[in-house]
Amino acid sequence: MSEAKKISTKIWRPILEKLDKKVDAACLRRDAYLSKVLEIEIAMLESEVSIPNSKDALNFISNRLDILDRKLVSLTLDSELVDRLNAICSRKRINRDSFFNRLFLVLAASSKLIDRLFFLNEENWRRYVWEAYKHEGPFFHNSFYPLEQEINPFWAVRCGIELCNEDELVDYTEPESGNSIRVQKSFEGNVYPSTNLYTIIFEDKELKNTDLYGLNTYIPDWQIPGHPAASTYAAGLDDLLAEL
């Protein structure tokens, strides 16, 4: 670990209050724990948001985030992790506060909220994960080595998402980086990342009537309400339905 660095982020108050209660109950030092989580999550963010947001998407997410009642929070984190996160957010056009709010939300979420955010139609996802991975990963390691627990809080959720989503992926060269990646493709030829923790889109229907668009780390233009690309996509879908 390198030296610590203080940064500021604005967190939606209900998320912050819930997470602080959970951290206190577990007798954890919040910022030290977050640094350990970020060792995993920064790499996952870069991998899962395989295609950068457009400038329109970044502006849309940022504007929706500003609607939420947020509190300014000071975090003391490992400086190398902060630098890596800043670089990824710049390169992928991710609002850093959106990332922290999404991270805090999933850390603080109840089991029912996890189901609503990621598994609306898959109530048995936990059983699927247990059956597939009970002898692997944190399930095994953390049970037998309690003083050497692996800090990877979203491991089971990610396994569940993978088991419950059979994405049809195709090869694609991402033009900004030149990297060869695997992506999904819409019927109109639009490409977008595989279904994962950082690309499943939170909308306005997840928590009562609260608009959660600001907690997204990726959204394609054709899924932005009111965007011209969304109108084009809807029109194309209507044309396909008319042919049935």
Helix or strand run (H / E) with residue 64 = helix 55-65
pLDDT of residue 123: 86
The secondary structure of residue 175, as a DSSP letter, is T
Confidence of residue 134 (pLDDT cuts 50, 70, 90): confident
pLDDT of residue 242: 47
Measured over the CA atoms of residue 132, residue 153, residue 88 and residue 98, the dihedral's sign is: positive
- Among 103-117, 137-151, 182-196, 200-214, the range scoring the smallest mean pLDDT is 137-151
The CA dihedral of 93, 118, 101, 75, to the nearest 10 degrees, is -100
pLDDT of residue 120: 86
pLDDT of residue 189: 82
Residues 6+ apart with CB under 8 A from 189: none
- Among 16-20, 34-38, 167-171, 188-192, the range scoring the smallest mean pLDDT is 188-192
pLDDT of residue 138: 67
pLDDT of residue 133: 84
Distance CA 80, CA 86 (A): 10
Over residues 40-44, mean pLDDT = 97
pLDDT score of 12 more than 60: yes
